[in-house]
Structures are given as C-alpha cells and as structure tokens.
Amino acid sequence: MSAVLLPTVALLGLLVGSFLNVVVHRVPLGLSVVAPASSCPGCGSRIAARDNVPLVSWALLRGACRTCRMPIPVRYPLVEALTAVAFVVAAAPFLPALERATDARTALAAGLELAAYCYLAAISVALAAIDLDVRRLPDRIVLPAYLVGAVFLGAADLLRGDAVAAVTAAAGAACSFAFYYALAWVKPGAMGYGDVKLAGVLGLFLGQVGVPALVVGTFAAFLGGGLFGVVILLSRRGAGSTAIPFGPWMLAGAWVGVLFGAPLATAYLALAGLA
C-alpha cells in the first residue's frame, strides 16, 4: 500500500505547497488567502490555471511571468517541493498502522492520525517561512492548530481506546506551553509569545507520540538553535543583539522528536547506563 500511498501523499504535498505560497505571502499582510485570485505583482495579470501547476509551471515559464516576464522567486517551487517531501516524511511513520488496520475503526483512527501529522507538516513549512521573513508566528495559523490537532488526534485516540496517548498529548501541550511561558516571563524579549503559543501546539503533537518524543523534541529545538547561534557569532556575521528566529528551530526539533524521539531517548539512556 505504501507504494501507492506515498506518491499520493507527495502529490498532495505539492498541491498544498502551492497554496502555502499564498499563505506565506498574504497572512503576514493580513490579507485573505482565498480572494482575490493570485495575480502577478508586476503587471497585475491573473495567474491562469495552466501557470499554477506546482513545479511544472515555474519550470516551463523559466521562472518568469508569462505576460510581463517579471521574475518569479525560486522560493515558490522550493516551498512546493519542500512541502511534498515534508508530507512524505510526516506520513511514513504512520502508514504502517494504516496498512495493518483490520477493520474500518482502526483504519479511520490511523487515517486521522496520518492527516493530523500531514497538517502539522504543512503549517511547519508555512510558519518557518514566515518567521524567517518577518520574525512572526501568526495567530491565524498557530491558534487553529490547537483545535485541528485536538480534534483529529483526540478522535483517533477515542477510536483506538488509547487513553494514554490522549493524556500525554494534553499534558504535552500544557507542559510545553507552561515551559515556554516561564522562559518568556523570566527573561522578557528572549522568547516571543508567538513561540509560546506554538510550543503548546508542538507539545500536543509530540505528546501524542509519547513522552520521549516530547523531551527529545524540546531539547533538539534548543540544541539546534543554540548551535546555529554560536556558528553565526563565530562567523562574525552576527552580533550579540542579532535576532535569530526560534520558530524554525522549534519546528525542526519537534520533527526530530516525532520521527526519532523514542530511539534517541533509548540510545541516550543506554549510553548513560540507565537502560
């Protein structure tokens, strides 16, 4: 089934990635993501359907508007390709459960969980791009993720009768939010409240996977962000006051936790002689 589902997931990721380009551009400006239709910022020409095919249109147009030849940033196909890859990576750990499903109930539960993590992959790409651009994590993307995650993951846990996952997901959201809120309160300015709100979302998804994923995902964010900050300072491209967006590192760390949290935690405990 994976041979069929993974290409399907990749194609869905390409389509979602095309929409995310609109999200990344419009949400920071407070604009609607559904209207008006996409148009060239240079000549105002509406983007035709044939020129809006992920990856293909950009390549055929040679990276320029069909009408005025204004360059189309390479970020557009990169976001589309990255989203496709993110969807495949996000789906891979959850496909086996869908393949092993023996009845409609377990299949639906696995499908809901798969959809939830693909959703997380989509907002991860959008939030990382926006935070890198404007140093913000918009509430319009972050806050609905609490509801989407809770509904999809909660329904999956209910269908499976998995009370442990439901409790760890809720606890993960609460603990992660509280931890980041405490950091922001202790040292104002060091941690933005956008990061705090995102922490609760990531804690929800990490907690669903398990406590090891939550711990590893949180640690990985600070490790990655800290190492990157050191590299920037040592390369003399930044100063002590250089603002480094932490959102992308939170998102990257969360995916490390989702994908590798359990084996990394086991390996660490074994290395420390605790397992």
Please count the helices (runs of H) and the strands (runs of E) in the chain.
10, 0
**Of 206, 142, 197, 141, residue with least CA distance to 170:** 206
Q: Is residue 94 one of the residues assigned to a domain?
A: no
Query: How many of the other CB atoms lie within 10 Å of CB of 106?
Result: 16
Which pLDDT tens digit goes with each residue over 67-93? Answer: 898 898 899 999 999 999 999 999 999
**Higher-scoring residue by pLDDT: 46, 16:** 16
Scan for tokens 């995902």, then name that residue: 217
Which pLDDT tens digit goes with each residue over 111-131? Answer: 999 999 999 999 999 999 999
Whether 239 shows a pLDDT value over 60: the answer reads no
Residue 251's domain comprises 137-275
Residue type (1 letter), 68: C
Q: Is residue 270 one of the residues assigned to a domain?
A: yes
- Tell me what pLDDT residue 242 has: 58
Whether 241 shows a pLDDT value over 60: the answer reads no
Q: Can you tell me the distance from the alpha carbon of 160 to that of 148, in angstroms, rounded to the nearest whole number?
A: 18
Q: Is residue 166 one of the residues assigned to a domain?
A: yes
- Tell me how many degrees the CA angle 249-127-197 measures, rounded to the nearest 5: 75
Element (H or E) spanning 10, and its range?
helix 2-26
Q: Is residue 269 one of the residues assigned to a domain?
A: yes
Q: Is residue 186 one of the residues assigned to a domain?
A: yes
Whether 240 shows a pLDDT value over 60: the answer reads no
Q: Can you tell me the distance from the alpha carbon of 40 to that of 131, in angstroms, rounded to the nearest whole number?
A: 24
Q: Can you tell me the distance from the alpha carbon of 206 to that of 116, in angstroms, rounded to the nearest whole number?
A: 12
Based on the structure, what is the number of domains in the chain? 1
Q: Is residue 115 one of the residues assigned to a domain?
A: no
Whether 145 shows a pLDDT value over 80: the answer reads yes
Query: How many of the other CB atoms lie within 10 Å of CB of 95?
Result: 17
Mean pLDDT on 185-208: 92
- Tell me what pLDDT residue 46 has: 87
Q: Is residue 85 one of the residues assigned to a domain?
A: no
Cβ contact 208:153 at 8 Å:
yes
| Joined tokens for residue 133 | 């651009």
- For residue 177, name the pLDDT band (cuts at 50, 70, 90): very high
